[in-house]
Chain A
């Protein structure tokens, strides 16, 4: 309490240690803490799964599938969403006036409340074995209505967070007519436009198809339609994770390593392209399914390849900004400048490992999306390896590294040398563990091991025996990553509650733009152009095949409980 008073009085003297107002700090901290608690639940579930697969510690099959459902929901859906809402609110507060408007803050709290009510409901249903349907909840497996309602609340709550970002951005635009907005705010708006348009699919699936069906108001469900709606959301979901990662790489990474934003206009162009191309791609998850004609699958394969392009722009910008930093510190040669980068800074190291992991993610993503190659890997552990590098390594490690500067900026505590040492160990455990686990998964996938399957020997089938070696490596990687996860939570607890208090302002790092931002073409900020383009492309890719799923559908299915 005493510290609080000190902090408050020092603010009045103009030497506040905080970058954010007290109310904003409370909101952002609440979102983050709930998210980090999900990490705790998720890594326990993950550890038990990997130990079951190898056969070192077997749980009952139904428990394995409950753990798998929980692992997917709390990590892929809940942690990411809470962190992204928290991070974007922090960034727009910082870059559009220094604090959140009261209306934006209210929407932020409403977002927290609605999402949390939904998450708790969904977790209770999973633990009670009323919703052991995995995080994709494919019909006609029928979970309880409460489970679907919980997920719907999570989605609606996240929209409220997006509205908070829009309010903040809208006010800035009105106050600065004709000017380019701050890059962070622009990117946060793009992220939430993508998210809202993408989640409309899953919201329609859950609210109009699954909830009435689970409550018995409708007898049957159109299975293919429900799957198409899910995957219309399911792949852009990946970009909802990735866009904030790019925000961190484009805007905060340069500040941490002593450089500047590589190119304001190209960063905006990359985000516009991501916005347009990341939506009409869901069929690449459904390539081996009946009921969708080849031509429509092929069109979406092409659009999936197109979305690689803005990621290549990002790769160039990120390496470019690192080279600028290295050369500014006197680095020379073709690659020797790399030695000048701050390798001993866990925040940089975490992001660098995240980027390194993203190279195989891109390559194997193209394999997964390729019309024919997918035939070899679909629903095998290869896919699981791919997304454990994509989300659990690239995305989550970047979010971990960002936590190392965001939490100190909220709590006014110092990122000390000791904390940094723990941070480096944390990055190596988590990053190294995930990479070992994911590579083993890639290999076992190619050897034919299916995903989403509890311990089995298929009656000692010889094919199964070829998987044993890499099960051991998967487990070693999983255990290392688990330790890294726990260590992360130890660091988080320190940064929130126990770390050394700062005497100077702890800044949320936002890099400068050296070029003239006003030279960025105005068209890049005209949402009234890009949102219709985005929706138009969705209609081109989806309208006819979706109409076919409705008009040319088999009799629907009642809910079936097979667990």
Chain B
């Protein structure tokens, strides 16, 4: 099996680059701790509206400018649908869905999760820039999907 010299160079370089990508992604993931949302906790989606903490969705202060946002994404909206935090706040999103599959995405941030019935998903983000952020559903969930959104306001207040 004859392999052209240029092809050897091309493929060797290509394989090295791909391997480097793989290593970098792994280092970021498992050394620096930047892994995609992969929470393993399960709930009963059909009774989740009466199961703590999702029986009382809302924003809870848990530390110095640090919050837990307990949220439900349902057909077709989010609960709560208006949140407000001071600049620099770290928000731990804890979310699930009582019905079909939804998404939760905040444009211009890395908050991007799937909401799967029966599973709780989590992601943490620090909001350094003030402004009104859009929280939207990015997985088709039915006739009102395009109306499924919430807002998160990051105020100029200093805590």
Contacts and interface: CB of A to CB of B under 8 A. Distances in A.
Given A293-B40, A448-B105, A554-B118, A371 B29 contact: yes
Contact of A519 (B1, B76, B103, B151): B1
Interface in A521-561: 521, 552-557, 560
Interface stretch (A109-117, A341-349, A385-393, A449-457): A449-457
Contacts of B146: 61, 453-456
Interface string A287-300: 11111111001100
Contact of A223 (B15, B40, B117, B149): B117
Contacts of B75: 560, 562
Contacts of A140: 99-101, 117
Contact of B44 (A141, A371, A463, A554): A554
Given A294-B36, A371-B28, A448 B119 contact: no
Contact of A376 (B25, B110, B139, B149): B110
Given A456-B146, A463-B134, A374 B36 contact: yes
Given A301-B22, A461-B134, A554-B119, A453 B42 contact: no
B156 to A, nearest CB: 17
A122 B26 CA distance: 42
A459 B100 CA distance: 24
A313 interface: yes
Contacts of B30: 294, 298
Contacts of A456: 146-147
B141 A562 contact: yes
B130 interface: no
A290 B42 CA distance: 9
B27 to A, nearest CB: 10
B28 A289 contact: no
B53 interface: no
Contact of A309 (B14, B122, B133): B14
A448 B107 contact: yes
Contacts of B139: 138, 379, 452
A464 interface: yes
B35 A371 contact: yes
Interface stretch (B2-10, B65-73, B84-92): B2-10
Contacts of B36: 287-288, 294, 297, 371-372, 374-375
A298 B25 contact: yes
B100 A560 contact: yes
A223 B136 contact: no
Contacts of B39: 290-291
A410 to B, nearest CB: 36
Contacts of A372: 25, 28-29, 34-36
A65 interface: yes
Contacts of B141: 141, 562
Contacts of A298: 25-26, 29-30, 35
Contacts of B40: 290-291, 293, 552
B112 A375 contact: yes
Contact of A463 (B34, B108, B137): B108
A379 B138 contact: yes
Interface string B112-153: 111011111110000000001110111111111111010100
A360 interface: no
Nearest to A136: B140
Nearest to B10: A316
Given A134-B140, A312-B11, A447-B107, A286 B134 contact: no
Of the four ranges (under 10, 10 to 19, 20 to 34, 35 or more), the interface on chain A belongs to 35 or more
Contact of A450 (B22, B76, B105, B117): B105
Given A376-B110, A379-B138, A455-B146, A297 B116 contact: no
A555 B103 contact: no
Contacts of B138: 378-380, 450-453
A458 interface: yes
Contacts of B133: 463
Contacts of A420: none
A450 B45 CA distance: 25
B60 interface: no
Interface string B34-72: 111111111111100000000000000000000000000
A448 B108 contact: yes
A268 B22 CA distance: 26
Contacts of A378: 105, 112, 138
Contacts of A132: 143
A312 B10 contact: yes
A293 B37 CA distance: 9
A265 interface: yes
B136 A458 contact: yes
Contacts of B147: 456
Interface in A281-324: 286-294, 297-298, 301-302, 305-306, 308-309, 312-313, 316, 320
B105 A462 contact: no
Contacts of A287: 36
Contacts of B140: 65, 68, 134, 452-453
A95 interface: no
Given A266-B1, A555-B46, A375 B110 contact: yes
A61 B144 contact: yes
Contacts of A224: 116, 118-119
B14 A562 contact: no
A504 interface: no
Contacts of B136: 450, 458
Interface string A99-115: 00000000000000000
9 contacts: A224-B116, A224-B119, A290-B122, A294-B36, A316-B6, A371-B29, A372-B36, A450-B138, A520-B1
Shortest Cβ-Cβ A-B pairs, 9 listed: A448-B107, A562-B142, A554-B118, A450-B138, A456-B146, A290-B119, A554-B42, A379-B138, A290-B121
Given A298-B30, A454-B146, 13 more contacts: A61-B146, A227-B116, A269-B1, A288-B114, A290-B38, A374-B36, A447-B107, A450-B138, A458-B134, A459-B149, A552-B40, A554-B119, A563-B142
Interface of B: 1-4, 6-7, 10-11, 14-15, 18-19, 21-22, 25-26, 28-30, 34-46, 75-76, 99-101, 103, 105, 107-108, 110, 112-114, 116-122, 132-134, 136-147, 149, 151
